[in-house]
Amino acid sequence: MFDNVIVGVDGLEGGRDALWLAQQLASGHSQLTLAHVEVVTPKPGPTSGAISQAQRDLHAMQRLALLRDEAHVDADLLCVEAASVAAGLHDLVARHQGDVLVLGASRRDDYERTFVGDDVHAVLENAPCPVAIAPCGHARRARAVNKIGAAYDGSSESEQAVAVARVLARGHGAELSAFQAVPEPGYVHSIVYPQPEIEAGLAAARKRIAELGDVEPHVASSDDAAEAVARYGASVDLLVVGSHRYQPFDHLLSGSTAQRLADDAPCPLLVLSRNHTERVMQ
Domain limits of the chain? 1-142, 143-267
Q: What is the DSSP-derived secondary structure letter of residue 84?
A: S
pTM over 0.95: no
Q: Given this chain, do its domains 1-142 and 143-267 carry the same CATH topology?
A: yes
Packed helices 47-71 and 12-25: angle between N→C axes, nearest 10 degrees: 50
d(CA 80, CA 89): 9
d(CA 137, CA 13): 8
d(CA 269, CA 255): 16
**CB-CB contact of 145 with 155 (8 Å):** no
What is the per-residue pLDDT for 46? 58
What are the pLDDT tens digits along the chain (282 aa)?
Answer: 799 999 999 988 999 999 999 999 998 889 999 999 999 876 655 555 555 778 888 899 999 999 999 999 999 999 999 999 999 999 999 999 999 999 999 877 665 656 567 899 999 988 999 999 999 999 998 789 999 999 999 998 999 999 999 999 999 999 999 999 998 776 555 555 567 888 889 999 999 999 999 999 999 999 898 999 999 999 999 999 997 655 443 443 345 788 889 888 889 999 998 765 545 444
Beta strand pairing call for 238-241 and 147-151: parallel
- Three-state secondary structure call for residue 25: helix
Q: Which CATH class is domain 143-267?
A: alpha beta
198: Cβ–Cβ under 8 A, 6 or more apart, which residues? 182, 184, 185, 188, 221
What is the per-residue pLDDT for 102? 98
Q: Which CATH class is domain 1-142?
A: alpha beta
139: Cβ–Cβ under 8 A, 6 or more apart, which residues? 13, 16, 17, 19, 20
